[in-house]
């Protein structure tokens, strides 16, 4: 039972990260490989504020602000000049930014992993399995943020402008939408979600290191693609699914092959439905 | 017209190439150390990447030892030079690091930090008969396959056997979590499992690997009601498992090996300073940071003064590896700075494998058999 | 009835006759440069550190050019190239450990394992190729990435492959592996360049330019996609075998996701669709990695990651940012090369001005186009001497703008 | 004009999830005939083309080329059987020169058979093939007056010439039936005139059966022997050009009352 709940909480962490990927891909049509490392920066922001002053809430706030500014800065410096260039060039720059963030973190904090505990939460018993309060908190926080995001996208004016930009950037520009502003907002929201993801991540795994963002980044990207890249609910489903499978695999004797099973699942889903579970079928007009 | 021009140009090119090659042919097996002004001790270790915390600790320990030796006037007037190349624990970077060091005049080395990299380092060192005293590569085959290999820390097998005997004696429900992607962890676990079967004791084993070494909820959940969990892993993952055990309400004893040293600062709350983990923690280790033994105390104080960090077992091993080489060279009173690596290797090996030669370092007293395996008196540290 | 010896002789004469007649120095420069480079190094018996560097460069070139076949010519992004290398390395080393005592000489073992390792990797290439038939762009990228991770995870856990400790290779090939590596580079260059410069090469590039139109022209898209993936996987496997026989131990960690990215970066920086570009980029990046590793000892090594990242970003942004294109034409390396080339051709053609070659400008920025501006067309010439084809000599092989047929 | 039927479609139709894009289309095109397919935008003309070339699989009905049933086959097999097409929005291989575009068209011709391994190892067959293909391509380009620009990149050609290149490339696959999708779209009057001349020349020189979609009624009536008018996916009128164009139904559909 608790493997399920742990799986769901890990899944909601992946979902939060995947949301960042899907939004940036859906609207700015580019793969932000550095998204995983924004989480690492968020966790280091929490680590520094916790060691300076002990208030968890202040730390979370600082993390969100730092990540959002970082997201916008990356977009302005690394991706805006490449707006017209081929998507592959943008992909390589994103990889460059990702290595840059890891290098800087390693220089400042050294590459040893540092323990970070935000709030010590107890646990409670359900049947014979104990469930950690932090998993429940992660689930709840994840759910709330996803609901807020979907509401924001569908209800508010900027949200609809985002959908317009994702449908057809050229037409959106003609309709007087300032595309650059919208893309910066997308990166800002994506990075804020990454900050939230880093908080939930630290609930689960109380330690941070420079390469923290690499593996979760790839797994969240896989989740976003499973769910259908570009669709917000898709990212949530993909993330949760991946989290549960990872946790279930780990408790079975198959656990050395967990990564192989996860990525195997991705290939199977994509071959059955090439654009992911909720992905839109984009047919090239002949 | 164009054809003739191309032909002249290509002939000229070949001529130039021929002249260049004749001028620059160099001999092969030459002693790169002939113009050394100091003894050169080399090493490779992971300074970036996931295993970098172990590489950096060994590097700090070794640098501290070199600083102290040079401060005391070096070896009859001649000083020591030390350098560690970053190998990210991969075989190819270890190989290129070793070549760079060897051609810069390395005469002796403390090998590589991780077992995988040390295998690559050792096989290249064997070709040049260069001695290496690895501080932490504990896989048995790194030393046993060749004659120029020595080691400071315990070998995997004897740690596994020792842990099995201790656990089998005191506890009934036994759980194990080990890392399938780490050669150290697997080596200790295999010896442990063999010994436990010999003693007729059963245990349940759970695994993780380098890609999933952060979230241990599934593993801890499965071993929740064991009285002891044996963890042949490094302290970073051990700290996470300890915290997970607390949040899962499991209060089994956490039994570790020499990789556990350093877990203390992983589980102490930075502000309040007291431990966040209530479980009893025991681990086999040759090095205890707060032991009262004078050599250990002087090392710990010097390390804290130098890096204002508490030294972990890796730092102690690095420190001892350099001192072991220094003591052996002093006992054999080597004084030729430009001695070739293989000559120095034979001298130091002869000295180290003498039954009378005992080295007292931060990690306790050590003697070496002729295979290069250390024999140490183990202590079991306990807290909580 | 000419004896069979005669037939063979004529066959050879005919074979090399064709090549001689269609010989254009421009396409054989990279062969000449590499053979010369190899001969120089063999004569000068380099130090062990240079032989290690050369071997790594040779392996990197094979990987970069084989990935270029898929990414540059077929236009399909593959992030799992290290997975094929991992298969090649493990299979190669495993087999060489088994058969070494039966076959004494290292060279024979190496050649045998290279073929077997390559073929096994090619089979996996076929499997990945199938997924390329249904998926495009980002989705294919993630599937290839997943493939790389799966292969690595499985190789790590197979007990026969040495599990976590890694597969030991007691019969390390030793220092002159770089000779075999560069010979393999030449073999691969010959095969891949000849493939590209033929009707099959045109078919593959047609698929990249416009798959719908290629299908409508009756090109069997499935066949060519699989062919490209299988060939590229074969050479990646061979590179893996070379890597395995060069290092005394191989661990699953050597073939991580970062390795695939490193190879992709070599292809993109060298210019997708340009084989010489991949060769130069592969050599350069391997050199920078080793150079930084030596020059930044101890704790500065974190700087290496930083320097690598900065080089990456600056070069890619400079090359591809549309806003910088006017600076790019003025200051970039290729602009310099064009100026020198223009000066030389002016002097040479001073006597017959009509033959000066027109420089064609093409630029379009979409997923299917090539980010860096390489004159793809020249790469596709097919080594035939067009002067003979039409009666009346070779006057009408140069069209109005003075461009000679290729 | 022999009366052998080159292309026969029986109740050809396709529905995209409920939307009947085209239904119950019956065409009988005789050999060497110039057949027109006209109708207002969205009448399903290009959909019929896509069904004939295998891009879409028709849901109802069948179509036969020279008596052979090709319904539902893949685009490659249909092209090998002898149907070549041009596209509404030009789809050339932009990074290749003009002559290479045509060479790609010649790829599957039986007389140029050569396996990839033969090309890789530069066997004699590779050289013979390449020379023969080049000659054939040059002839084709000469007919279309593109021979001078054969080494320029396809994307550098002016619009009219790009259209002609696309037709030349389609002819290179040596088809029995040539489908032209709005060849005269976006052309000024004398370019259209020139194109009509070229189409006639193709039909006579290559004795090719041609089915074309066009909005320019002057182009269609001047060129086509018979035409079919489509409206909302169904056949409105069939017959010779004058008959169909004066049919009150067609006039109503086009001009609207």
* Residue range A182-199, pLDDT digits in tens: 888 889 998 999 999 998
Q: What single string gives the DSSP state of each residue in B43-67?
A: EEE-SSSTTHHHHHHHHHHHHHHHH
CB contact B214 to A (< 8 Å): yes
| Nearest of C394, C74, C26, C390 to residue C219 by alpha carbon | C74
In the structure, what pLDDT confidence band is assigned to residue A173 with cuts at 50, 70 and 90?
A: confident
**pLDDT at residue C384, rounded to an integer:** 56
Residues of A with CB below 8 A from C146's CB?
A: 222, 263-264, 266-267
| Nearest of C186, C181, C188 to residue C247 by alpha carbon | C181
CA B10 from chain centre, in angstroms, equals 54
CB contact C320 to A (< 8 Å): yes
Residues of C with CB below 8 A from B1's CB?
A: 348, 351
- Which helix (DSSP H) or strand (DSSP E) does residue C340 occupy? helix C333-348
| Cα Rg of chain C (Å, integer) | 23
**pLDDT at residue B166, rounded to an integer:** 85
Collapsed DSSP state (helix, strand, coil) of residue C153: helix
Q: Could you tell me which CATH number the domain at B156-285 has?
A: 3.40.50.2300
Q: What are phi and psi of D211, to 5 degrees?
A: -120, 120
Task: Indicate yes or no: CB of D95 within 8 angstroms of CB of C214.
Answer: no
Q: What single string gives the DSSP state of each residue in B219-269?
A: HHHHTTT-SEEEE-S-HHHHHHHHHHHHHTT---EEEE-GGGTTHHHHHB-
Which one-letter DSSP state was computed for residue B137?
-
CA nearest to A285 within chain D: D89
Mark the ranges of chain B whose per-residue pLDDT is less than 70: 1-30, 270-272
In chain C, residues 191-230 whose CB comes closer than 8 Å to chain D = 191, 194-195, 198-203, 205-206, 209-210, 212-221, 227
How many Å apart are CA D38 and CA D182, to the nearest integer?
10
Question: Can you tell me the ipTM of this complex?
Answer: 0.83
CA nearest to A111 within chain C: C302
CB contact B182 to C (< 8 Å): yes
CATH class for the domain made up of B33-153+292-376: alpha beta
Q: What single string gives the DSSP state of each residue in C222-279?
A: HHHHHHHHHHHHHHHHHHHHHHHHHSSEE-GGGGSHHHHHHHHHHHHHH-TT-HHHHH
**pLDDT at residue C329, rounded to an integer:** 63
Task: Locate the domains of chain B by residue range.
Answer: 33-153+292-376, 156-285
- Locate B367 and state its tokens: 């003697």
> B270: which residues sit within 8 A by CB, 6+ positions away?
A50, A51, A115
pLDDT tens digits, residue range C135-157? 877 778 888 989 999 998 888 88
CA D8 from chain centre, in angstroms, equals 16
**pLDDT at residue B260, rounded to an integer:** 81
**pLDDT at residue C366, rounded to an integer:** 33
CB contact D55 to A (< 8 Å): yes
In chain C, residues 127-186 whose CB comes closer than 8 Å to chain D = none
Task: Locate the domains of chain A by residue range.
Answer: 15-119+132-219
User: Domains in chain C, start-ordered, CATH in brackets?
Assistant: 20-320 (1.10.3470), 332-397 (no CATH)
pLDDT tens, chain C, 406 aa long: 456 666 667 667 767 766 666 666 667 777 888 888 888 888 887 777 888 888 999 999 999 999 999 988 888 888 889 999 999 999 999 998 888 888 777 888 888 999 999 999 999 999 988 887 888 777 788 889 899 999 988 888 888 877 777 788 877 777 778 888 999 999 999 899 888 888 899 999 999 888 888 988 888 999 999 999 999 999 999 999 999 888 888 888 788 888 888 898 888 888 888 888 899 999 988 888 888 777 766 556 667 778 778 887 888 887 777 777 666 666 666 666 667 767 776 776 666 555 444 433 333 333 333 333 344 455 565 555 544 333 333 444 555 554 555 5
Q: Which candidate in C29, C38, C39, C48 is best for mutational testing of the B interface (most B CBs within 10 A)?
A: C48
The whole-model pTM stands at 0.84
Mark the ranges of chain D whose per-residue pLDDT is less than 70: 1-2, 254-257
Task: Indicate yes or no: CB of B214 within 8 angstroms of CB of A207.
Answer: yes
CB contact B144 to C (< 8 Å): no
Task: Indicate yes or no: CB of B248 within 8 angstroms of CB of A132.
Answer: yes
How many Å apart are CA D193 and CA D184, to the nearest integer?
9
**pLDDT at residue C396, rounded to an integer:** 47
- Find the mean pLDDT for residues A60-75: 92
Average pLDDT, chain A: 84
Helices and strands of chain C, counted as H and E runs: 16, 2
């Amino acid at each position: 039972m608790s493997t399920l709940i742990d799986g769901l909480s890990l899944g909601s962490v992946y979902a939060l990260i995947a949301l960042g990927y899907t939004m940036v891909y859906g609207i700015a049509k580019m793969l932000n490989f550095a998204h995983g490392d924004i989480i690492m920066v968020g966790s280091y922001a929490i680590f520094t504020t916790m060691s300076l002053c002990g208030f968890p809430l202040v730390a979370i706030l600082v993390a969100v602000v730092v990540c959002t500014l970082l997201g916008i800065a990356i977009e302005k410096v690394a991706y805006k000049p490449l707006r017209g260039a081929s998507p592959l060039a943008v992909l390589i720059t994103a990889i460059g930014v990702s290595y840059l963030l890891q290098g800087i973190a390693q220089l400042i904090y050294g590459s040893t992993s540092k323990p970070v505990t935000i709030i010590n939460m107890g646990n409670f018993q359900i049947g014979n399995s104990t469930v950690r309060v932090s998993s429940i908190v992660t689930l709840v926080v994840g759910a709330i943020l996803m609901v807020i995001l979907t509401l924001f996208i569908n209800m508010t004016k900027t949200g609809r402008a985002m959908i317009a930009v994702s449908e057809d950037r050229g037409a959106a520009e003609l309709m007087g939408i300032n595309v650059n502003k919208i893309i910066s907002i997308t990166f800002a929201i994506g990075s804020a979600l990454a900050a939230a993801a880093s908080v939930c991540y630290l609930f689960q795994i109380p330690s941070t290191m420079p390469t923290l963002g690499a593996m979760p980044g790839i797994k969240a990207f896989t989740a976003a693609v499973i769910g259908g890249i570009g669709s917000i609910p898709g990212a949530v489903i993909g993330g949760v699914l991946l989290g549960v499978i990872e946790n279930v695999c780990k408790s079975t004797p198959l656990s050395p092959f967990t990564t192989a099973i996860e990525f195997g699942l991705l290939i199977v889903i994509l071959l059955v439905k090439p654009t992911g579970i909720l992905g839109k079928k984009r047919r090239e007009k002949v | 017209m164009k054809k003739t021009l191309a032909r002249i140009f290509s002939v000229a090119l070949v001529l130039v190439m021929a002249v260049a090659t004749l001028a620059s042919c160099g001999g092969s097996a030459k002693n790169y150390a002939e113009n050394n002004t100091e003894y050169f001790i080399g090493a490779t270790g992971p300074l970036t990447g996931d295993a970098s915390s172990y590489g950096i600790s060994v590097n700090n320990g070794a640098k501290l030892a070199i600083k102290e030796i040079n401060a005391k006037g070096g070896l009859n007037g001649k000083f020591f030079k030390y350098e560690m190349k970053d190998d990210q624990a991969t075989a190819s970077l270890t190989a290129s690091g070793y070549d760079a060091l060897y051609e810069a005049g390395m005469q002796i080395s403390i090998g590589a930090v991780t077992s995988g990299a040390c295998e690559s380092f050792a096989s290249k060192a064997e070709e040049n008969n260069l001695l290496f005293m690895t501080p932490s590569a504990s896989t048995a085959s790194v030393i046993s396959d060749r004659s120029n290999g020595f080691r400071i820390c315990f070998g995997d097998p004897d740690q596994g056997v020792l842990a099995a005997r201790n656990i089998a004696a005191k506890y009934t429900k036994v759980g194990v979590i080990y890392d399938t992607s780490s050669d150290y962890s697997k080596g200790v676990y295999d010896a442990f499992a063999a010994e436990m079967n010999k003693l007729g004791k059963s245990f349940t084993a759970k695994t993780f690997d380098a890609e999933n070494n952060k979230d241990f909820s599934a593993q801890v959940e499965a071993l929740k009601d064991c009285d002891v969990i044996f963890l042949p892993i490094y302290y970073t993952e051990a700290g996470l498992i300890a915290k997970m055990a607390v949040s899962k309400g499991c209060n089994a004893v956490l039994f570790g090996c020499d990789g556990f040293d350093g877990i203390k600062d992983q589980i102490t709350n930075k502000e309040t300073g007291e431990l966040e983990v209530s479980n009893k923690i025991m681990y086999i280790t040759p090095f205890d940071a707060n032991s009262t033994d004078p050599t250990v105390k002087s090392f710990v104080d010097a390390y804290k003064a130098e890096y204002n960090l508490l030294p972990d077992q890796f730092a102690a091993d690095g420190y001892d590896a350099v001192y072991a080489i220094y003591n052996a060279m002093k006992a054999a009173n080597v004084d030729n700075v430009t001695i070739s690596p293989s000559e120095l290797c034979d001298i130091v090996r002869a000295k180290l494998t003498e039954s009378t030669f005992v080295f007292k370092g931060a990690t306790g007293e050590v003697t070496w058999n002729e295979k290069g395996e250390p024999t140490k008196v183990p202590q079991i540290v306990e807290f909580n | 009835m000419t004896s069979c010896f005669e037939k063979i002789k004529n066959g050879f004469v005919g074979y090399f006759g064709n090549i001689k007649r269609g010989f254009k120095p421009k396409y054989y420069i990279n062969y000449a440069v590499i053979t010369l480079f190899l001969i120089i190094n063999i004569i000068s018996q380099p130090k062990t550190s240079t032989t290690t560097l050369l071997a790594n460069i040779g392996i990197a070139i094979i990987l970069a050019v084989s990935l270029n076949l898929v990414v540059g010519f077929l236009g399909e992004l593959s992030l799992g190239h290290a997975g094929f290398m991992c298969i090649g390395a493990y299979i190669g080393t495993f087999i060489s450990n088994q058969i070494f005592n039966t076959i004494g000489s290292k060279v024979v073992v190496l050649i045998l394992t290279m073929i077997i390792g390559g073929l096994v990797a090619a089979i996996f290439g076929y499997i990945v190729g199938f997924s390329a038939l249904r998926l495009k762009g980002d989705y294919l990228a993630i599937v290839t990435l997943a493939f790389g991770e799966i292969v690595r995870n499985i190789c790590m856990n197979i007990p026969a492959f040495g599990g976590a400790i890694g597969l030991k290779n007691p019969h390390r090939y030793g220092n002159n592996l770089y000779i075999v590596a560069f010979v393999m580079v030449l073999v691969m260059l010959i095969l891949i360049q000849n493939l590209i410069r033929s009707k099959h090469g045109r078919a593959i590039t047609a698929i990249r330019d416009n798959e719908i139109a290629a299908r409508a022209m009756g090109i069997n898209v499935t066949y060519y996609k699989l062919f490209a993936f299988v060939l590229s996987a074969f050479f990646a496997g061979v590179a893996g075998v070379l890597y395995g026989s060069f290092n005394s131990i191989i661990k699953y960690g050597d073939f991580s996701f970062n390795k695939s990215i490193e190879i992709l970066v070599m292809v993109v920086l060298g210019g997708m669709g340009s084989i010489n570009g991949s060769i130069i980029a592969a050599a350069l990046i391997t050199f920078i990695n080793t150079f930084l590793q030596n020059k930044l000892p101890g704790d500065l090594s974190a700087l290496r990651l930083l320097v690598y990242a900065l080089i990456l970003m600056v070069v890619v942004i400079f090359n591809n940012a549309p806003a910088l294109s006017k600076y790019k034409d003025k200051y970039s390396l290729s602009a310099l090369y064009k100026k020198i080339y223009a000066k030389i051709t002016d002097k040479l053609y001073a006597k017959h001005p009509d033959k000066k070659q027109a420089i064609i400008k093409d630029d379009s920025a979409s997923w299917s186009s090539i980010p860096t501006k390489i004159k793809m067309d020249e790469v596709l010439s097919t080594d035939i001497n067009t002067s003979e084809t039409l009666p009346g000599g070779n006057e009408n092989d140069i069209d109005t703008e003075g461009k000679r047929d290729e | 004009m022999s009366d052998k039927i080159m292309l026969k479609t029986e109740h050809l139709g396709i529905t995209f999830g409920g939307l009947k894009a085209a239904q119950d289309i019956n065409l009988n095109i005789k050999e060497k005939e110039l057949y027109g397919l006209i109708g207002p935008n969205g009448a399903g003309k290009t959909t019929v083309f896509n069904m004939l070339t295998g891009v879409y699989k028709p849901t109802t009905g069948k179509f036969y080329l020279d008596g052979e049933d090709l319904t539902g086959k893949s685009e490659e097999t249909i092209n090998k059987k002898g149907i070549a097409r041009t596209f509404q929005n030009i789809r050339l291989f932009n990074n290749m020169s003009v002559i290479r575009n045509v060479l790609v068209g010649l790829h599957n011709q039986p007389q140029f058979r050569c396996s990839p391994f033969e090309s890789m190892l530069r066997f004699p067959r590779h050289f013979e093939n390449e020379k023969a293909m080049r000659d054939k391509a040059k002839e084709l380009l000469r007919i279309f007056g593109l021979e001078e620009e054969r080494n320029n990149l396809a994307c550098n050609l002016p619009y009219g010439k790009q259209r002609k290149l696309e037709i030349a490339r389609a002819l290179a696959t040596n088809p029995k039936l040539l489908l032209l999708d709005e060849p005269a779209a976006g052309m000024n009057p004398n370019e259209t005139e020139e194109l009509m001349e070229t189409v006639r020349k193709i039909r006579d020189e290559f004795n090719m059966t041609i089915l074309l979609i066009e909005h320019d009624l002057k182009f269609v009536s001047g060129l086509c022997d018979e035409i079919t008018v489509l409206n909302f996916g169904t056949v409105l009128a069939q017959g010779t050009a004058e008959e169909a164009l004066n049919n009150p139904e067609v006039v109503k559909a086009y001009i609207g009352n």
